[in-house]
Each structure stands twice: as C-alpha cells, then as structure tokens.
C-alpha cells in the first residue's frame, strides 16, 4: 500500500476511535484527529486521563465497529447547516473550527452514528481496517495553546495486515528499551533534576566523557577544514537583540531581561550576533574571505514544560554552530564544502542514510529576488554534487533565506532532524556586514548559518538511542573493564590498567571481592566494549583474557597484542567518515 493510502487508512481509524469513545463516553467532546508518522491520534475534551482499562474498552468497541463494515459516506454542508448541526449535537470545538475556517461549504464524513467535520479522504468502509492498536495516552492543549482547554490524547496506529502491525509493535518495544532517558539513568550518563529545573541537563562523568570526545573530535575537524573556533558570552545587552530582530520576532522564546548597572541584558538564545560582532571588529577585504567562525555555544530558550522531553527538547543546550562570511563569487564553493563536511561528520557517528530537504522562498521575505535565486541554486547544486536524493519544500525557507535541512536515519529507521545550512540576507543588512571588494568599494557580505550535529544534547540523545547505549570503541566512556578473579591478581590488574591509560585507552578496574560471573554480567549491562578477565594463569603468563562485547568466548592474549588490537579497531572506526585523513 502506498504511503498516501496508508495515511487514508489511519485517518479512517482515527474516526473509528472517536466513534468508539463517543459510544462509551457520550459526554466527552471531540476535537481533531490527524494522522502522524506511523500512526494517528485523536484529542478529546475530558477532565481525567484515559486509563489502561479505558483503552481496552475502546479497542474492543473499535473491533465491533470495524466488523460492522460501516461505510464512510461523504456529504457537504453550508456554514449555517454545519453550525446548526454541530451546535445541536453539542460539539463546541467543531463549532469553533467552522467559524474560524469561515468557508461557504464544509466537508462532512459519517460512519454509523458518528459524523465529523473532515476534508477526507477515507476508505470505503470500516472493515478495511485489518490491523490496528491503541498505543498510549497523553495530555495536550486545544490548538497547542496552554491557555486553552486541557485535552486528553489517544495515540494509535493501523496497518493493512497483522504482520506489519506486529513488526511495528516489535520496533516500538525495542525503541522503549533504547529510550535515552531510560539508558541515561541506567548507564549514569546524565540527569535532569527538579531542584535545578526542567529542561536543564546535568552531564554525569560518563556522559561528560563522551561529550568531551565529541567536542575534541569536532574541534580538530573544524581546524582541519579551515574554521576558526571562537567563544562568546552567555549574555548581551538587549540592544544587540533588538538590532538582530530576535527581540521582536523571537521574544516568546527569550527569557526576561535582567538589569545590570541599569542596563537590560538578555541571556542568549542564539550565537549569530556575537559572531557578526567579531567579524566587524576590524575592516575586511575580499582577500580575507571566506571567514568561518565555529563555536560550541550554549544558548537558552524558553520551552513550555509540556513539550520538554529528555535531551531532545530542553531549555539550555549547546549548539554545534558556525557562521561563514563570504562573497557572491565564493557562495557555491562554501555551501558545497559545508554540506560535504556535514555528511562526513554524520557518517563518522554511524549514520549512512539521510533525508534531505531544500526549502525555498516563502511569501514574506527579505533580500532581493536575484539573491534568493543564486542562493537556492547554490544549495541545489551542492545537494546534487554530493549525490543526495532530496525533496523541495516550496515556500518553506525562513524569511531571511533558503536552507538545506538534513535528517538522519538511526538503526530503527527513525528520522532525526540534526543538520542545517541556511543562507541569511537579513542579519548582514541589519548589522551592516561588509567587506571591501577588488573595486575598492564596500559590498555586503553573504552569511551562511551552519550546524552539523544540531545541539550536543539532542545529538547525544540520538546517539544513545541509535546505539542502544552500546557506543563504538572510539566513543565509549569506558573502553576496557579489568576484572580479577581473586584478590591475588589485584596488583597485576592495576598494572594492566596503568598500561592501558598510558596508551590513551579509557580503562576501569573492578577489584571487588565478588564472583567473576557477577562482574561480567554487570560489565555487560554497562555495555563495555572489552572485558579483561585476569586469573592466576593470566598473571603467570603475563597475558589477559579478553571478551569482546556481544561475544561469549574469552580469548587469552598478550597485553601488547591487545593494545595493537584496540588501536587497530579505534583507527578503523575513525576512518568511517573521513577516509582520506
């Protein structure tokens, strides 16, 4: 079944869900029930959350409605007819939608005793829904506005056959086991604590070690690719954000000003104005360009508590940020370099499949038409030069310029938004960002915003789930765990530990008086890449017993050969994204 037909099936299942809820709970008011990726939901006006028992009753009722083979019939109503009908059946949210849409004619779908305001399309009858499942519930707000009515949402999914549904449910179960919030706690990687505040992340030692490895790798590759790394303050005077336009257009996401020496300051939501000020610190010539500034800059943005989600939606995060100042003549090369760099970096972390989107000029925009055309063409050429399939999102560019967005596919075939490359015609104009051309005249510089990984927090959450916490050797916070069978081998174990540290491997020792089986099970749960087991034989032979993650056999090997093996594996992993280095 095509994606559009599957979408129609799921949309129809959402209507059956609403019908079932109304038959069981007649006083509940319905709102909307769209399809989403891999499923659907429907929101209901209900004071108390749905229970597991409720979901079971609703599923049973849906099965009855499906077996009845109720046809989906389509009619239309005038505005007056639609208002009259939904007012009589006491569905105030539908009445509000009718008034807001303000159309001459409204599309209506009915199955059995249930009628809904809906553009469609739908399947022929309910019996076509061969496999469905209600998955979960959550709270929501009418129209996403926290000042409006609180609603109860039911999520579900539907497929054309039970096999596809079963496979999908298995994937969902695996996703639960890989949930970064669950693994973050089990592996002691990070925490978000109520006493500190929602959406504010504490990186624990092991999580911080992985972050440090990512940052060091990131910095090294940026220097190799012609970037200068800078650091900028966490606050700035309000006037900077007024000049940039963020105070006017982004105010809902900016925290309230603080007063310092009778001057208002804002905690930064973006890094770009700082990079511009560094650029403008001295006169620039066309000979100086391109200038590429990169920063792992921590920013703070207000997010409603209801949308905060582990590391994926936070209030304080570190952007993998860069801004490129260039000329019109160099624009194509800079965008191509930025996209190529993006793909190499993502491949280094194990991502090989991408969804790429080219977003073009919206109705309201700044800049000249010829600038938009040149920038959009440069983005398109870069995508095609890198051999990527892509979709064009007409009119979905931001008001200040066109952009490329890159989504990565993880090991469960889920998409994650990470990378973006955006051309900006707005900030160079607002801040008068210029350079002197070879004609000795002033020209406006072109500015490119670029993020490879997105934010470190979100990217780390993605890595945890994609790897299921089993990080590759080069990223693992602990690469080797040394376990002694008895206290007799403790000194030898400490010696091996010191040797590994001297060779730049992250090693830990487990010298507790516990059974070796218990130690091995614990190390397995910690997803350590290599376990080293030491007994009397290994100590006498000056060897170690190594067991690689996922394998059952322990192999005896000299310490020297073990280090060679570790070095080889680490070097091969580091060639994944940058084979030419």
Query: Which residues are the active-site residues?
Result: 272, 301, 319, 321, 323, 403, 449
User: What are phi and psi for residue 314, nearest 5 degrees?
Assistant: -130, 175
What does each C-alpha distance from 448 to 58, 276, 293 come to in angstroms?
51, 11, 10
What does each C-alpha distance from 200 to 62, 193, 197, 203, 477 come to in angstroms?
41, 8, 6, 10, 22
Provide the β-strand partners of residue 299. Answer: 317
Q: Using the structure block, give the residue that is written with the tokens 């549904």.
A: 165
Greatest Cα pair distance, the chain, in angstroms, is 93
Round to whole Å and give the CA distance between 461 and 458: 5
The answer to whether the beta carbons of residues 452 and 217 sit under 8 Å apart is no
- The three-state (H, E, C) secondary structure of 264-278, written as one string: EEEECCCCHHHHHHH
Round to whole Å and give the CA distance between 506 and 511: 17
The answer to whether the beta carbons of residues 28 and 46 sit under 8 Å apart is yes
Q: Which residues contact 456 (CB under 8 A, 6 or more apart)?
A: 211, 214, 215, 296, 317, 318, 319, 320
CA 141 to chain centre: 23
The answer to whether the beta carbons of residues 15 and 116 sit under 8 Å apart is yes
What does each C-alpha distance from 165 to 131, 156, 160, 514 come to in angstroms?
6, 11, 8, 45
């Amino acid at each position: 079944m095509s994606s559009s037909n599957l979408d129609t099936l799921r949309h129809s299942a959402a209507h059956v869900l609403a019908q079932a809820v109304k038959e069981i709970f007649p006083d509940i008011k319905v709102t909307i029930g769209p399809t989403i990726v891999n499923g659907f939901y429907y929101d209901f006006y209900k004071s108390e959350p749905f229970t597991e028992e409720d979901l079971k009753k609703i599923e049973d009722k849906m099965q009855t409605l499906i077996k009845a083979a109720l046809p989906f019939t389509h009619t239309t109503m005038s505005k007056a007819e639609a208002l009259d009908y939904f007012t009589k059946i006491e569905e105030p949210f539908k009445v509000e939608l009718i008034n807001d849409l303000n159309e001459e004619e409204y599309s209506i779908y009915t199955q059995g005793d249930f009628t809904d305001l809906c553009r469609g399309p739908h399947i022929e009858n309910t019996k076509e829904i061969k496999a469905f499942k209600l998955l979960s519930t959550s709270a929501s707000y009418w129209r996403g506005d926290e000042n409006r009515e609180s609603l109860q949402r039911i999520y579900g999914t539907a497929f054309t056959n039970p096999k596809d549904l079963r496979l999908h449910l298995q994937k969902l179960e695996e996703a639960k086991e890989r949930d970064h919030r669950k693994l973050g706690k089990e592996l002691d990687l990070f925490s978000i604590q109520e006493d500190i505040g929602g959406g504010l992340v504490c990186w624990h030692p092991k999580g911080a070690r992985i972050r440090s490895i990512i940052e060091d790798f990131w910095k090294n590759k940026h220097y190799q690719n012609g970037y200068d790394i800078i650091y900028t303050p966490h606050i700035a005077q309000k006037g900077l954000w007024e000049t940039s336009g963020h105070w006017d257009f982004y105010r809902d996401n900016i925290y309230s000003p603080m007063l310092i020496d009778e001057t208002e300051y804002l905690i930064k939501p973006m890094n770009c104005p700082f990079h511009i000020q560094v650029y403008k610190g001295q006169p620039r010539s066309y000979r100086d360009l391109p200038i590429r500034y990169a920063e792992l800059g921590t920013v703070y943005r207000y997010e409603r508590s209801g949308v905060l989600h582990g590391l994926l939606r936070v209030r304080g995060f570190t952007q993998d940020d860069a801004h490129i100042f260039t000329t019109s003549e160099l624009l194509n090369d800079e965008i191509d370099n930025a996209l190529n760099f993006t793909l190499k970096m993502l491949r280094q972390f194990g991502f090989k499949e991408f969804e790429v989107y080219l977003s073009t000029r919206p109705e309201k925009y700044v800049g000249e038409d010829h600038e938009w055309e040149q920038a959009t063409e440069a983005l398109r050429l870069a995508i095609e030069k890198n051999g990527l399939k892509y979709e064009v999102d007409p009119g979905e560019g931001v008001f200040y310029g066109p952009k490329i967005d890159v989504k990565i596919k993880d090991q469960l075939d889920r998409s994650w938004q990470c990378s973006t490359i955006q051309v900006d015609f707005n900030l160079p104009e607002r801040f008068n960002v210029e350079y002197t051309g070879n004609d000795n005249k002033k020209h406006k510089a072109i500015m490119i915003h670029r993020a490879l990984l997105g934010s470190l927090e979100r990217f780390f959450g993605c890595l945890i789930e994609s790897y299921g916490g089993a990080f590759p050797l080069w990223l693992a916070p602990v690469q080797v765990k040394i376990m002694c069978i008895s206290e007799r081998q403790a000194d030898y174990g400490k010696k091996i530990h010191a040797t590994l540290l001297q060779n730049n491997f992250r090693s830990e020792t487990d010298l507790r008086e516990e059974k070796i089986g218990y130690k091995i099970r614990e190390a397995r749960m910690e997803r350590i890449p290599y376990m080293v087991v030491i007994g009397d034989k290994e100590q006498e032979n000056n060897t170690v017993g190594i067991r690689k993650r996922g394998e059952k056999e322990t192999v005896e090997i000299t310490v020297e050969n073990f280090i060679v093996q570790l070095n080889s594996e680490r070097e091969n992993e580091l060639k994944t994204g940058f084979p030419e280095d």
